[in-house]
Amino acid sequence: MFFPSKEELEKYIANLKQTVNSRKVLVCTGLGCLAKGADQVCQRFEELIAENGLKVELTRVTDDNPEVKKTGCMGWCEAGPLVQIEPEGILYLRVQPEDVAEIVERTLKNQEIVDRLTYQEKRGEEVQQWPLMKDVPFYRKQMKIVLRNCGLIDPEKLDDYLARDGYLALAKIVSQMTPDAVVREVTNSGLRGRGGGGFPTGRKWQFAQVVKADQKYLVCNGDEGDPGAFMDRSVMEGDPHSVIEGMAIAGYAIGASQGFIYVRAEYPLAVSRLNKALADAREAGLLGQNILGSDFSFDITIREGAGAFVCGEETALLASVEGKRGMPRPRPPYPAQSGLWGKPTVIDNVETLANIPAILLNGADWFRSFGTPTSPGTKTFALSGKIKNTGLAEVPMGITLRELIFDVAGGIQNDGQFKAVQIGGPSGGCLTEQHLDLSVDYDSLCSAGAIMGSGGLVVLDQDTCIVEVARFFMTFTQNESCGKCVPCREGTKHLLEILEKIVNGQAEQEDLDLLEEVARVVQDASLCGLGKTAPNPVLTTFRYFQDEYLDHVVNKVCPAQVCQSMKDYVIDPEKCRACAKCARVCPVQCISGRPRVPYVIDQSKCTKCGSCFEACPFDAIIVDWRRKENARKN
């Protein structure tokens, strides 16, 4: 299969759509579902469909078997393995190999729904059921542009991508549009970089386009380093051709002939599927020399990173692509003027590039019909934390945090109480209940002290210690600091030391003043984005949860009862049988007693290890938070 021209590609796609099988069994093989046995589910479907010799009369195809497709991530990771039956759009949850026979018999043969595998929700005394994916609350408010193909196509089959108008945007621009026109269309769309900064994509392309050079480069940033974030990974695994097509369009616009996909080596499935997609695109003439018979030539190489968070910063990423240690450099010059090997270079992240084919095919006005005037389009989020529906969701910009957390993500686990949401990853900030009706867009989040980031969203409930959350993220950023500049290298270390003093009950009032002062210095004086945003979790939690910090410092109380140093193990004298088992396992020998007399723990020596708690056969040792709660009240 080779396409020498736009006309040949369009003819092939038209024929492909006439022969496509609309009767499909789509099995999610994103990493979350694979971990729960999706491969075995898919294999069982293939076996039973073959055994039953199923024949389905279709609109355009007759006497054909239903197809079983291994798709990319369908988004709702918590409910996996997911199976969707097309064309009806039936969604089955938590499907196991032993469930497949019933689905084949009842749904594929008799068009019946297996109720027990569909989404059900108890409302009052009634149980409501939503068998179709489009009606399930998790999907109801989603709008899929970036994820338009994920969960619907086999990512390792070029024909699947072509059947959904794949590479038609590339064919359109190389045959009908000038590079200036492409840049203008992307600029008019208002697309902003989805990697975190939100810089206008068209303007970035224009900076590189006007520079005169014998060689330019286009780099796709797939180095997704935020804890709990998997948006880019899911796109690369589930729809790799959308990224490749977006890169080719960007290369045409800026005048680049070579592209690089920088992806972390911890994503082996993404690397494998990208390599397969690149090989298929080259064979079809969609990459390489004279693409679709035009004068445009463009190819892509994969570079695997070692997982350094700092390589998410543009200049550090470029250094890594060049084979150097990933460390940032001062700007200017910006990469658009001097990037890879001193040549003009544009760096866009995976999600940004996956938007490009849809924009060029449907137009800037179409893209602007979603989202807000200053933040058009959609945004993907990795939803995690204390919520019912963890997974990947794509929603229109401008949706409120309340809708995202309580409608899409299903609300708090075990009907708990919402406390905060950490948005933007380690570089982001914590927002509170007062922000639930805040519009999710670049400007609104920034005004509240947070950032959009790449799309990581962690929901916290009342049992979460907010100071411990700040300490966790500061531990991450301090470990990931490249050490090049003093404010980040030493400042993040100092911030972490203060936070550890606070959670260990050793801090004083002046430590809180110093915490904020050091955070401001790190924010203002660091060289790159990692250091400048590292204090965000500290500053936002201190801003919105100052009382909780004061509880830790002044009253030596952890209101969420999480910080280990702020609890005591005490022995209930009425339950103690003086068996001495607790004393024998105590590593610091802080438990004393004698026969027939209840034992006592010396709190000044106790290390809170919990060995005594585990060893006591009479449940006589209890965890006491109340003594310190009483001290707080006093």
- pLDDT exceeds 80 at position 61: no
Cβ atoms of 496 and 340 closer than 8 Å: no
Among 130-139, 184-193, 219-228, 437-446, which stretch is predicted with the lowest mean pLDDT? 219-228
Cα 312 versus chain centre, distance: 14
Structural domain count of the chain: 5
Strands (E) located in 248-355: 258-264, 299-305, 345-349
Tokens for 360, please give them: 């060029």
409 shares its domain with 395: yes
Q: What is the mean pLDDT of residues 579-608?
A: 92
pLDDT at 59: 34
Asked if the structure places residue 523 within a domain, the reply is yes
Distances, alpha carbon 202 to alpha carbons 21, 184, 206, 241, in Å: 38, 7, 6, 21
Asked if the structure places residue 560 within a domain, the reply is no
178 shares its domain with 299: yes
Q: 625 is in which domain, residue-wise?
A: 567-633
Decide which of 111, 140, 169 is a domain's last residue. Answer: 140
Which of 178, 186, 201 minimizes the C-alpha distance to 346? 201
- How far apart (Å, rounded) are the C-alpha atoms in residues 96 and 208? 51
Cβ atoms of 431 and 460 closer than 8 Å: no
pLDDT at 461: 95
- pLDDT exceeds 50 at position 495: yes
pLDDT at 54: 65
Name the most confidently modeled range: 389-393, 552-556, 603-607.
Answer: 389-393
Cβ atoms of 253 and 209 closer than 8 Å: yes
Tokens for 619, please give them: 């449940």
Query: How many other CB atoms sit within 10 Å of the CB of residue 436?
Result: 16
- Residues 12-53 pLDDT 10s: 999 998 877 778 999 999 989 999 999 999 999 989 988 877
pLDDT at 489: 94
pLDDT at 65: 64
Decide which of 406, 431, 461 is a domain's last residue. Answer: 461
Which of 484, 455, 452, 198 minimizes the C-alpha distance to 315? 484
Q: What is the mean pLDDT of residues 205-227?
A: 93
The band of 426, judged by pLDDT with boundaries at 50, 70 and 90, is confident
Contacts 24+ apart (CB under 8 A), 492-499: 492/522, 492/531, 492/534, 494/518, 495/519, 495/522, 495/534, 495/535, 495/538, 496/471, 499/467, 499/470, 499/471, 499/474, 499/538
Which of 262, 375, 361, 372 minimizes the C-alpha distance to 315? 262
Which of 366, 454, 472, 459 minimizes the C-alpha distance to 420? 459
What DSSP character marks residue 439? B
176 shares its domain with 261: yes
- Residues 253-306 pLDDT 10s: 999 999 999 998 889 999 999 999 999 999 999 999 999 999 999 999 999 998
- pLDDT exceeds 80 at position 60: no
pLDDT at 428: 85
405 shares its domain with 429: yes
Q: What is the CATH number of the domain that holds 579?
A: 3.30.70.20
236 shares its domain with 321: yes
- Residues 92-121 pLDDT 10s: 999 999 999 999 999 998 889 999 999 998
- Residue 598: asked if its preceding bond is cis (omega within 30°), the reply is no
- Residues 500-517 pLDDT 10s: 999 998 999 999 999 999
Decide which of 490, 522, 553 is a domain's last residue. Answer: 553
Rounded percentage of the chain residues whose pLDDT exceeds 70 = 97
Cβ atoms of 94 and 81 closer than 8 Å: yes
Asked if the structure places residue 152 within a domain, the reply is no
75 shares its domain with 200: no
Cβ atoms of 387 and 420 closer than 8 Å: no
Asked if the structure places residue 195 within a domain, the reply is yes
251 shares its domain with 338: yes
